[in-house]
Amino acid sequence: MLLKPITTVLAIAITISAECLAQSPAQPKQTQTASSKVDALLGDLRVIVEGLGDDSGTLNEMASSSLQSIERDNAISLVDAIQLAMTEVGGASWLIEPYNKMGCDQDRETMKGILQERLKSYSHLLDLNIDVLSHHLPFTRLPAVSQVVLRAQDRMRNAKRDMQSVLDAIQ
């Protein structure tokens, strides 16, 4: 009895795979151009994640070594916001990469809607993280902390811009 549903699922999978395999392996020039642009943006997003990680680590070191009481608590809140932004930018990268490597038009079209919605969501969450950093910035007394926070905000804005560029490229 279990064999019939398994056979049906296998038949559907083979049919979809056959349709994708029947497509020509060469992508149109427009798709290749968009794909190379998305590859470059994906690389930028990876660099942003690394930079946010550096910013988070720097603030964490400051909080654990030289900051006291309220300033330390504020720095820890800033670290949390930066780490959330890292997660969001990393999540965007994890969705963009497989989409960009898909060769089957049907799979790309299915993934396109998911990617568009998630990138919009991640962009909105980055806005919230930028606001959190802005609200905590007045409570920093050390210029070094302020510089790290401002750099992290710039990275988040760059990530938002890159996500929007990916959305424009896949339209």
What is the block-wise mean pLDDT of the chain (171 residues), using blocks of 10 residues? 53 55 50 71 91 92 80 86 93 87 81 89 93 89 89 94 88 78
Give the predicted TM-score (pTM) of the model: 0.77
Domain locations in the chain as residue ranges? 30-170
DSSP string, the chain: --HHHHHHHHHHHHHHHHHHHHS-SSPPHHHHHHHHHHHHHHHHHHHHHHHHHHHHHHHHHHHHHT--HHHHHHHHHHHHHHHHHHHHHHHHHHHHHHHHH---HHHHHHHHHHHHHHHHHHHHHHHHHHHHHHHHGGG---HHHHHHHHHHHHHHHHHHHHHHHHHHHH-
